[in-house]
């Protein structure tokens, strides 16, 4: 089978993205919301099962994982909001809503990194045949952490001691069987998704494989900072972006940095913010190139009381109203997870 990720015919419009059309405010309050939530938690369960098989038996069948990745790609292309909202939710919310214990630093991190990476790749116009490979590499890039003791796998703390060899994850891919899938492509991408910034510095915008690996690398860093930092509390998305911006500027082309900020945003879908009016709101749509002026739904008034009917506002149209700070709140996530 030919390698579908081979570099070919990338044009100068590779970073050109058209503005998405506005969708119905209420279409997530039914079948779409439940379908996407079910897909997210099914993906967690399937990936956890694969990790358990690898750790106990040394090999695993990846066909169900591949099938679920394909399904999630289709759902992201139809409506990304719920899936990205779940990816931005605190791990505590995810753990409360899944029936089994999962390896946080591998499974939840892998699923969220995959969703971020696929969102960016879809918006970039990456050919459809490549998306499953990007998804598989993103979700599996931390499989090397399976060498950690069992008790550490269920935690979400510092993994630095076990996270220094990206080749370990690439090697484990050999033990996963997936029908009609070019395993070597996943291995190559995972090998490139490394913290070796000297390697990343050599990346050209026209080298597709390196670009895909950079997207996964950056999404993984963002997910780690906002959910499971090595020390201290998780950072808000805006603080994580500031930290990454300072570290990225010496190693990445400015177009890559701009793309990353525009696509994931300092105020990502599903997150909560405090406004200049002292009201609390949920981010329900990102305005690309105006990332500090998203579309919001106000859920708490200035006194902290819940609004019976949340108010939808496009901050681009309200110059006197602005975001003051990010808010991390499990209760708000739980109560308003379906609100878009």
Burial of 329 (0-12, 13-18, 19+ CB in 10 A): middle
pLDDT tens readout for residues 290-315: 888 999 999 999 999 999 899 999 99
- The Cα 211–Cα 189 span in angstroms is 10
DSSP 296: E
Domains of the chain, CATH where assigned:
31-264 (1.10.3210.10), 272-335 (no CATH)
- The DSSP symbol for 125 reads T
Contact between 272 and 281 under an 8 Å Cβ cutoff? The reply is yes
Alpha helices (H) along the chain: 31-57, 63-78, 81-87, 91-96, 109-124, 131-140, 150-153, 166-173, 183-192, 197-201, 208-227, 237-248, 254-264, 330-335
| Partner residues linked to 273 by β-bridges | 281, 326
- Asked if 282 and 251 count as a contact pair (C-beta separation under 8 A), the reply is no
CA–centroid distance for 182 within its chain = 23
Q: Residues 156-179: pLDDT tens digits?
A: 555 555 555 556 777 788 889 899
- Mean pLDDT within 215-227: 89
The encoded tokens of residue 80 equal 């990304």
* 15/33 Cα distance (integer angstroms): 30
Q: What is the pTM of this model?
A: 0.81
Q: What angle do the packed helices 109-124 and 254-264 form, to 10 degrees? A: 110
SS3 59: coil
Q: For the residues of 153-172, what is the DSSP string, one character each?
A: HT--S--GGG-S-HHHHHHH
Residues 6+ apart with CB under 8 A from 246: none
Reported as a single tens digit per residue, the pLDDT across 69-124 is 999 999 999 999 999 999 999 898 999 999 889 998 899 999 999 999 999 999 88
Instruction: Encode pLDDT of 247-281 as tens digits.
Output: 777 766 677 777 777 788 888 889 999 999 999 99
């Amino acid at each position: 089978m030919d390698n579908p990720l081979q570099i070919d015919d990338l044009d100068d419009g590779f970073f050109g993205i058209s503005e998405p059309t506005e969708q119905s405010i209420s279409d997530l309050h039914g079948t779409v919301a439940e379908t996407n939530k079910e897909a997210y938690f099914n993906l967690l369960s399937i990936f956890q099962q694969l990790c358990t098989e690898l750790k106990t038996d040394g090999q695993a069948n990846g066909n169900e994982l591949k099938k679920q990745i394909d399904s999630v790609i289709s759902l992201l292309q139809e409506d990304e909001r719920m899936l990205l909202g779940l990816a931005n939710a605190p791990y505590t919310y995810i753990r409360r809503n899944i029936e089994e214990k999962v390896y946080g630093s591998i499974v939840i991190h892998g699923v969220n990194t995959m969703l971020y990476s696929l969102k960016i790749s879809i918006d970039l116009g990456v050919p459809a045949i490549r998306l499953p490979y990007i998804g598989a590499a993103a979700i599996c890039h931390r499989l090397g952490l399976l060498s950690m003791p069992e008790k550490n796998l269920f935690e979400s703390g510092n993994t630095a001691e076990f996270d220094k060899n990206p080749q370990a994850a690439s090697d484990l891919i050999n033990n996963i069987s997936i029908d009609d899938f070019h395993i070597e492509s996943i291995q190559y991408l995972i090998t490139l998704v490394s913290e070796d910034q000297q390697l990343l510095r050599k990346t050209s915008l026209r080298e597709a494989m390196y670009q895909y690996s950079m997207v996964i690398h950056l999404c993984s860093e963002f997910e780690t900072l906002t959910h499971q930092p090595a020390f201290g509390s998780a950072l808000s998305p805006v603080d994580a972006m500031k930290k990454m911006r300072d570290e990225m500027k010496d190693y990445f082309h400015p177009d890559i940095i701009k793309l990353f900020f525009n696509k994931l945003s300092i105020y990502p879908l599903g997150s909560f913010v405090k406004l200049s009016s002292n009201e609390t709101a949920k981010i329900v749509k990102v305005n690309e190139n105006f990332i500090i002026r998203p579309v919001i739904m106000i859920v708490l008034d200035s006194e902290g009381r819940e609004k019976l009917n949340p108010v939808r506002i496009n901050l681009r149209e309200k110059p006197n109203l602005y975001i003051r700070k990010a808010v991390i709140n499990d209760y708000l996530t739980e109560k308003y997870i379906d609100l878009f």
